[in-house]
């Protein structure tokens, strides 16, 4: 799962990256560049996984990870930075989801007034224009191909019809996530990595004066798209650099009840319509991510392809039932352990033991 941070210059993207990555990359020495973004693998916080680890006490705990990209800010209208903007947009296209980082703090370092709604409109407009450019170039290419007696001419006609609808939507300043109506059309959007089709989570970056109550600051900007996480990225980045045993004291002094940046990772998982299932064993407990609607055999393949090839059945208990029962033996006695076939649709929170032939 690859997630890219998007925003205007000095919006706080790098501070958010540092807060989430806990300084995995020294952003001061190695600032993100368009030709070399900073990348960090960040674990998704998961209380269910923590409970399973404490319950089973295996040597290893394996969370779901997000690959996080920090990039230079977009600068629409700057002809001298057009090449950089193009490179940044290409990195954003390759991401599975986007985080809009919007400034909601005053700073003498940042020119202009604080207006996260306007900043959001600038980003949306840049992505609409970029997608329209891609769609128009593809339409032009298909129109040239469709005149020839090609074997896939009918498929090209269907694609042209769909892309024409995309063009109309983009020219009307509407994103593409509601245009695709079939799996084939969604596949076309996926192939050219439409920016306005990607899941988005908004981060409202507030000043240190609102760090302990960021949602109060967010009320001044009602109407920003949801899901929205409000936080003070600079302060949380500073906390992330402290030794673990000093963080709680500093947070108490600043009035923080938690690191709000960590709320972003589960929100991104949900925004992509993904679920989490779990596997347990003597060596590890693991959280695993699947798209909603995935089947038991899909889940088996996520663990190991041999499990999918030799799939027999899945033994399933929900996390809530296991926690309530205290152990699998009692959950089975209570009738909460089920045997499911390969077409079973995996649910969020399922704990699965796969039976398969070797």
Query: Structural domains in the chain?
Result: 293-356 (3.10.20.30)
**Which DSSP letter does residue 146 get?**
H
Ramachandran category for residue 12: left, alpha or beta (phi over 0 → left; psi -120 to 50 → alpha): left
The arithmetic mean of pLDDT across residues 93-120, rounded, is 91
The arithmetic mean of pLDDT across residues 125-137, rounded, is 95
Confidence of residue 324 (pLDDT cuts 50, 70, 90): very high
Residue 287, pLDDT score: 98
Residue 183, pLDDT score: 87
In this predicted structure, the answer to whether residue 280 has a pLDDT above a threshold of 90 is yes
Confidence of residue 145 (pLDDT cuts 50, 70, 90): confident
pTM for the full predicted model:
0.90
The arithmetic mean of pLDDT across residues 111-134, rounded, is 93
Yes or no: say if 289 and 276 are a contact pair by the CB < 8 Å rule: yes
Confidence of residue 16 (pLDDT cuts 50, 70, 90): very high
The arithmetic mean of pLDDT across residues 85-89, rounded, is 93
Residue 223, pLDDT score: 85
Mean pLDDT of the chain: 93
pLDDT tens readout for residues 177-187: 889 888 889 88
pLDDT tens readout for residues 47-86: 999 999 999 999 999 999 999 999 999 998 787 778 899 9
């Amino acid at each position: 799962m690859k997630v890219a941070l998007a925003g205007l210059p000095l919006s706080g993207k790098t501070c958010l990256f540092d807060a989430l990555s806990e300084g995995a990359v020294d952003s001061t020495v190695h600032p993100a560049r368009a030709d070399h973004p900073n990348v960090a693998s960040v674990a998704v916080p998961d209380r269910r996984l923590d409970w399973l680890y404490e319950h089973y006490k295996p040597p290893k705990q394996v969370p779901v990870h997000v690959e996080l990209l920090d990039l230079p800010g977009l600068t629409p209208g700057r002809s001298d930075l057009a090449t950089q903007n193009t490179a940044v947009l290409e990195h954003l296209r390759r991401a599975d989801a986007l985080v809009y980082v919007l400034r909601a703090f005053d700073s003498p370092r940042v020119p202009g007034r604080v207006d996260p709604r306007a900043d959001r409109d600038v980003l949306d407009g840049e992505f609409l224009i970029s997608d329209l450019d891609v769609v128009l170039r593809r339409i032009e290419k298909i129109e040239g191909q469709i005149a020839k007696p090609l074997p896939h001419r009918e498929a090209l006609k269907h694609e042209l019809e769909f892309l024409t609808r995309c063009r109309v939507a983009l020219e009307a300043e509407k994103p593409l996530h509601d245009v695709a109506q079939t799996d084939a059309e969604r596949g076309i959007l996926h192939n050219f990595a439409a920016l306005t089709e990607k899941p988005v989570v908004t981060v409202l970056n507030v000043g240190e004066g609102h760090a302990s109550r960021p949602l109060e600051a967010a009320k001044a900007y009602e109407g920003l798209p949801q899901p929205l996480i409000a936080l003070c990225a600079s302060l949380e980045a500073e906390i992330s650099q402290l030794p673990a045993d000093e963080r709680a004291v500093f947070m108490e002094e600043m009035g923080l009840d938690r690191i709000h940046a960590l709320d972003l990772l589960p929100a991104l998982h949900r925004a992509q319509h993904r679920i989490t299932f779990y596997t347990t064993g003597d060596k590890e407990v693991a959280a695993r991510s699947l798209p909603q609607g995935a089947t038991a055999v899909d889940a088996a393949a996520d663990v190991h392809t041999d499990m999918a090839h030799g799939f027999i059945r899945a033994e399933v208990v929900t996390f809530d039932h296991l926690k309530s029962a205290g152990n699998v033996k009692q959950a089975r006695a209570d009738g909460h352990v089920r045997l499911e076939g390969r077409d079973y649709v995996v649910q969020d929170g399922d704990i699965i033991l796969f039976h398969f032939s070797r």
